[in-house]
Amino acid sequence: MTDNIMTTQNRRRFASFNISRAGKANLVFALGILALIVATSLMSDAFLTERNMTNVARQMVTTGLLSIGMLVVILSGGIDLSVGSVVAFAGLLAAGLQETMPIGAAIAIALSVGVAVGIINGVFVAYFRLQPFIVTLATMGAVRGALYIYSETPTYASDPFFISVLGSGKLFGVVPYTFLIFLVCIPIMWMYLNHTKSGRSVIAIGMNPEAVRLAGVDVRVQTTVAYVICGFFAALAGVLLSARLGISQPNVGVGYELDAIAAVVIGGGVLGGGGGTVGGMFGGVLALAVIDNVLNLFNVQSYYQQLVKGVIILIAVIVRRKPQG
């Protein structure tokens, strides 16, 4: 009995420690981004212009949608490295199939590919008990190979609605429609994670899958659902990216999974499960978008940008690591 009480007390102490440290970390990152925005606006007249803000909003969409799906998988205790390949394949399908079928059908097929990859990932992780890193690394390569078989050359979009509305359309001539789609997905995912049995189960699985199983929840099904959601949002990101660019190429999406993971971690997500929120994820996406935009405004080379991102990720992981004991 005494051992149980001490264990409970330790857990409460560690939980309190985590909450306190997470709050401080979030505050530090928020203040850092605010300071960056203020400093950049003072040093660059182009930063706060309508054109640049519109570009920032557009650039947030792909990483943002990928991060929504990645957040669900990370909350479940897993990870998905295949999202970049799904982005490319969905974009190729959405653009290429427009010539032979209605745009709605082309988009539906593109999204279904993301769902199918999610099912495959989920089944191997949940039912065969394989490591998520290995499974999604394998599907990343397999999907990338499949899309090169489908098309080795760039595919151009031809549907006017796809290009002018989904691609370059803006509400009131200012806010991109693609960004509005991303914004709509945020409260939907928040409702799913916080107010549905499936969403709460996904979060609980990342903390203690055995306890969830004993509570009568099918852990395998809910884990698969998490990967299906991730695959769907990756495909949606690919469709909207193809619309924005008006072209889709087989080599698109390489490294996108790292940006999604970075956004979730910067926003408070804990790799392996046990932490992460939709609001924090959005903050991470915004932080990466601002950092990328600032570096581009000052003509910083891309490899320096990757270096900066890597340092930020390391700092985020260190300050949010779980206490030992």
Rounded Cα gap, residues 282 and 286, in angstroms: 6
Three-state SS string across 238-306, please? Answer: HHHHHHHHCEECCCCCCCHHHHHHHHHHHCCCCCCCCCCCHHHHHHHHHHHHHHHHHHHHCCCCHHHHH
pLDDT recorded at residue 147: 92
Collapse the DSSP code of 125 into the 3-class scheme (helix H, G, I; strand E, B; otherwise coil) and give the result. helix
Architecture of the 60-319 domain: Orthogonal Bundle (1.10)
pLDDT recorded at residue 323: 54
Dihedral (Cα; 234, 274, 278, 217), 10-degree rounding: 70
Dihedral (Cα; 61, 318, 85, 121), 10-degree rounding: -110
pLDDT recorded at residue 37: 85
With CA atoms as reference, report the closest residue to 237 among 97, 110, 152: 110
Residue type, 223: T
Give phi and psi for 171, each to the nearest 5.
-75, 125
Q: Please give the model's pTM, rounded to 2 decimal places.
A: 0.91
* pLDDT, tens digit, 9 for 90 and up, residues 188-203: 999 999 999 999 999 9
**pLDDT values of the chain reduced to their tens digit, one per residue, 325 residues:** 434 433 444 444 434 444 455 667 777 777 888 888 888 888 889 998 999 999 999 999 999 999 999 999 999 999 999 999 999 999 999 999 998 999 999 999 999 999 999 999 999 999 999 999 999 999 999 999 999 999 888 999 989 999 999 998 999 888 999 999 999 999 999 999 999 999 999 999 999 999 999 999 999 999 999 999 999 999 999 999 999 999 999 999 998 998 999 899 888 888 888 789 999 999 999 989 988 898 888 888 878 878 887 887 788 777 766 555 5
Dihedral (Cα; 270, 111, 103, 242), 10-degree rounding: 40
Let me know: does 94 contact 247? Beta carbons within 8 Å.
no
Rounded Cα gap, residues 125 and 106, in angstroms: 29
pLDDT recorded at residue 9: 44
* pLDDT, tens digit, 9 for 90 and up, residues 152-206: 889 999 899 999 999 989 998 889 999 999 999 999 999 999 999 999 999 999 9
Q: What residue segments make up the domains of the chain, in order of their start?
A: 60-319
With CA atoms as reference, report the closest residue to 232 among 126, 80, 39, 103: 80
> Residue 170's beta-bridge partner residues?
176
